[in-house]
Chain A
């Protein structure tokens, strides 16, 4: 495995363009991504530790962090359940129009987030049809509550889960199911003992992608959230509010904290994923 991966080394001399393409890639990467991002770190060095702690432990900022991470978690979980079902149906039960639905799954990727935001706010506001229906029948108000944020984030998250589970389901070796069933397993046992454990790493990837996108999401959320401080104010909005008050230091401190937390969470999810893969024997 290792040897075959390294053999192209011998043919390097013949392939041209190494310096040009790598040099340009690195130059452009630094210019567009790395230098701008590094300003976040340098700028926050200008803050004293006490100032930083003061900004971050402000009750309104802490509440925003709580809202952002909890709604993202809830949305990623809901999207995981329904996204899994959708992937399953799209692969296993070809019904009339499933191709159309398959193409539509990517709508949240393709639709600008501002459009998603105003549309969802319109659908779920208390005096619109669905908003009123939910309000009258179940006394649930969606818009201008944390629940509204969750709805917007589920919309954004859905394609991540479907698109990570779908290919794994497609490639899934049916002979394993046949073996389980011929050895007397019920369909439910086959699913819970054979199919689901094999799909779980993919589902986890989808969950992680959905969660990480949801934590930073802005456009689709702000219209439906109502942006009430302590209740439905998300971290990205908090950053913008600070900027609008010319509190650059505050905005930077919050932004850096959020970036670090999401990277740490992604790392934890990645490690967990590796552990799951190792346990299920798919190295």
Chain B
């Protein structure tokens, strides 16, 4: 092996490779900085959640999770996600279909408007619903006359979550479907398939990984949203506290085991999201 002479291209190849190499101390320094920074900002927080949740032992941890307030917070969080994620998914598919299959005036404006909720502070996202449905809001008088509660009740939480998670599915699907093109769909249509048949048999199988990716991110945000929900919830224990709000309430009452027990559930959810996300990225790269 050592006596083997290198061919001309190999020598050039090595020279090129060497030209792209950074000195080893630079490499080590930058890897060190990266590991230190991510240890401090990404790994330590996860450890602290678990350690704080289990600070008073496993039984205290389970008791905190099984408390009525925690259970009702989990139920409300699930309910919110079950309602908001399908609605925003439906919108995402419809918007992506319209934007990627047709040319129309105002298309780029529509694309920009879809992203709008991302550039609005969560607190403002909650505030606008207070302005609409709150006691002094546009519909406030009518709502209270008919004894309908939106603000400081579950519908407000769902509306605020709907607003905040609005762009996720659409913004995932639009670039993906743009790149995919529409030859296959056109072929199906010209062979006599109906619009719905084309959608179910051609479009949906083609976009499914990208769609799931959007749904996953939408769900993570729906379950974890704090600022917007905090404004409209009214923080009524056992009634209008989602799990993130329950974390805040417990923390502010110095009930750290309860706060971190709930936080550990949400952190577990975040880890599952990251694992699924990595899996979906891998599937998309393979497809």
Tell whether B3 is near chain A: CB-to-CB under 8 Å.
Answer: no
- Grouping DSSP codes into helix (H, G, I), strand (E, B) and loop, the A interface class, with mixed when no group exceeds half, is helix
Contact B244 A112 (CB under 8 A): yes
Which chain B positions have C-beta within 8 A of A139? Answer: none
A32/B163 contact (C-beta < 8 A), A39-B131, A123-B45, A219-B244 known:
yes
Task: Say which one of B64-72, B141-149, B262-270 lies at the interface with A.
Answer: B262-270
Tell whether B110 is near chain A: CB-to-CB under 8 Å.
Answer: yes
CB distance from A142 to the nearest CB of B (A): 12
Partner of A115, one of B113, B163, B194, B266: B266
Tell whether B83 is near chain A: CB-to-CB under 8 Å.
Answer: no
Contact A219 B104 (CB under 8 A): no
Contact B121 A215 (CB under 8 A): yes
Distance between Cα atoms of A105 and B137 in the complex (Å) = 41
Tell whether A76 is near chain B: CB-to-CB under 8 Å.
Answer: no
Distance between Cα atoms of A262 and B198 in the complex (Å) = 42
Tell whether B11 is near chain A: CB-to-CB under 8 Å.
Answer: no
CB distance from A172 to the nearest CB of B (A): 11
Which chain A positions have C-beta within 8 A of B37? Answer: 82, 85-86
Contact A177 B20 (CB under 8 A): yes
CB distance from A65 to the nearest CB of B (A): 13
Contact B20 A36 (CB under 8 A): no
- Grouping DSSP codes into helix (H, G, I), strand (E, B) and loop, the B interface class, with mixed when no group exceeds half, is helix
Partner of A104, one of B94, B186, B231, B274: B274
Contact B245 A114 (CB under 8 A): yes
Partner of A118, one of B117, B199, B251: B251
CB distance from B252 to the nearest CB of A (A): 9
Instruction: State which residues 253-268 of B face A: CB under 8 Å.
Output: 256, 259-260, 263, 266-267
Tell whether A33 is near chain B: CB-to-CB under 8 Å.
Answer: yes
Instruction: State which residues 1-54 of B face A: CB under 8 Å.
Output: 15-16, 19-20, 22-23, 27, 30-31, 33-35, 37-38, 41-46, 48-49, 52
Distance between Cα atoms of A107 and B48 in the complex (Å) = 14
Contact A243 B127 (CB under 8 A): yes
Which chain A positions have C-beta within 8 A of B116? Answer: 33, 37
Flag B112-134 by CB within 8 Å of A: 1 or 0 each.
01101101111110011111101
Which chain A positions have C-beta within 8 A of B269? Answer: 110
Contact A239 B31 (CB under 8 A): no
A33/B94 contact (C-beta < 8 A), A12-B102, A22-B104, A122-B52 known:
no
Tell whether A116 is near chain B: CB-to-CB under 8 Å.
Answer: yes
Instruction: State which residues 80-94 of B face A: CB under 8 Å.
Output: 87, 91, 94
A22/B98 contact (C-beta < 8 A), A178-B20, A219-B227 known:
yes
Which chain B positions have C-beta within 8 A of A15? Answer: 101-102, 182, 185-186, 189
Inter-chain pairs besides A21-B98, A89-B33, 9 sampled, C-beta below 8 Å: A86-B34, A107-B42, A111-B266, A115-B270, A155-B45, A219-B226, A236-B227, A239-B127, A243-B231
5 A-B pairs closest in CB distance: A216-B121, A112-B224, A16-B195, A181-B19, A219-B226
A-B contact pairs, 11 of them (CB 8 A): A8-B103, A8-B182, A21-B95, A22-B104, A28-B87, A103-B275, A119-B45, A119-B263, A181-B20, A243-B231, A248-B134
User: Measuring CB to CB, which residues of chain A are less than 8 angstroms from any residue of chain B?
Assistant: 6, 8-9, 11-12, 14-18, 20-22, 24-26, 28-29, 32-37, 39-40, 43, 82, 85-86, 88-90, 92-93, 95, 101, 103-120, 122-123, 130, 154-155, 158, 174, 177-178, 181-182, 187, 212, 215-219, 223, 235-237, 239-240, 243, 246, 248, 251-252, 255, 258-259, 262-263, 266
